[in-house]
Amino acid sequence: MKGPTPAATVLGLLVTAALILAGCSSNSGPTDPDPSSEASTSTSTSTAPPQAEITVDPAGGTDEVMPDDTITVQAVRGEIDDVTVVGAGGDEIDGAVEGQTWTSSARMKPSTKYTVTTTAQGPEGGTTTDKSTFTTHDPEVTATYGIVYSGRTVGVGMPVSIQFDSAVTDEKYRRAIERAVSVETTPQTEGSWGWLDNRQLMWRPKDFWTPGTTVTIDAPITGYQTGEDKWVAQGASGSMTIGRRQMATVDINAHEMTVSQDGQTLKTFPVSSGKPGRETETRSGMKVVIGKQREMTMDSSTIGVDKGEKGYYKVDTDYNVRVTWTGEFVHSAPWSVGAQGSTNVSHGCVNMAPQNAKWFYKHSLVGDPVNFTGSDREFLPTEGIGVWQFSWAQWQKQSALA
């Protein structure tokens, strides 16, 4: 038998070498993947961090929210950065965050749309901003009030006076209002709130003010109730300054007025007070100057005595200093000069000669005390600024919190 030829041997070696090379290439070299094969398939997933989740009470779109309701914003997921609650008029409701919850600390205006804007951080970062709106209750009556004599220099007998245009009908409403209001004085002064009636809340010092005292009043009672479906829509603040210490005394029986400043007598005037009779007798008591009017017409019909009835009068007067709401003034009365100093002939006012009345008018401030003595007809506190008709202990009991 013949062996392989040289050519066949060479060819066999070449084929073997090629197979060996091919095997090495398959195990160690790069290959192009087959897109149709399962082994070559790969996927990539990217997930956004979770956002903050916020709940607001009252919920967005709610109507008839009561002005004294509390607003809460809670972070169910994440943390609260900031909350603002703004009314349609631009007023902002204060509040604070504790833990995961923001809670309002002020009441709202009635009949007002509010926008709640919340900024919060998600649990893994990222900021979320949420907005919602709600509307407060539209009451039957919007209650109004004022701080009387705010911004003025007043006499030492003038109390702080918050006067409501309609009655604060229930003790619980008066208590809530009294807790909300405050007075600050420089120098510090002892005093107490009290209700003169259900429309007049007053802060009276224990004794007459020290001259030069500054008084600041804060009455932030927006959203407080004063009666059945009566809500306050706007808070108020004010101030007043106490002037010099001037006091007047009218001795009804002696027909004399004495005026002093800082304990020194300035003037003594002859006067004529109200003539005898229950409807005309001048009232005794510690009154306070309520206001001044240079000229006016005094008409008895304004106090219930009409034209044609006994006691009717209508007369023009000058230099009028009012001391009661019931029609008592100190004023010029040239027609009664002959009786001044000896006889009481007026309808209840204090009559003075024109020059004397002019002096008293010029030198009087609202809030100056005027003490009347000698009459059996007592001045009732609600007939004027009657806070000094109470002892200190009695006045403290006028507080709704007493």
Give catalytic residues, as residue numbers.
331, 349
Q: Is residue 243 within 8 Å of 289, Cβ to Cβ? A: no
DSSP 229: T
What span, in angstroms and rounded, lies between the C-alpha atoms of 59 and 72? 10
Amino acid at site 187? P
Give residue for tokens 């405050």. Answer: 182
What span, in angstroms and rounded, lies between the C-alpha atoms of 233 and 144? 7
Residue 32 tokens, joined? 């192009």
Residue 288 tokens, joined? 């306070």
Give residue for tokens 């007592």. Answer: 378
Q: Is residue 130 within 8 Å of 84, Cβ to Cβ? A: no
Strand (E) or helix (H) holding 23: helix 6-28
Q: Provide CB contacts within 8 A for 8, sequence distance 6+.
A: none
* Spatial CA neighbour of 396 closest among 215, 216, 195: 195
Give residue for tokens 């060819």. Answer: 11
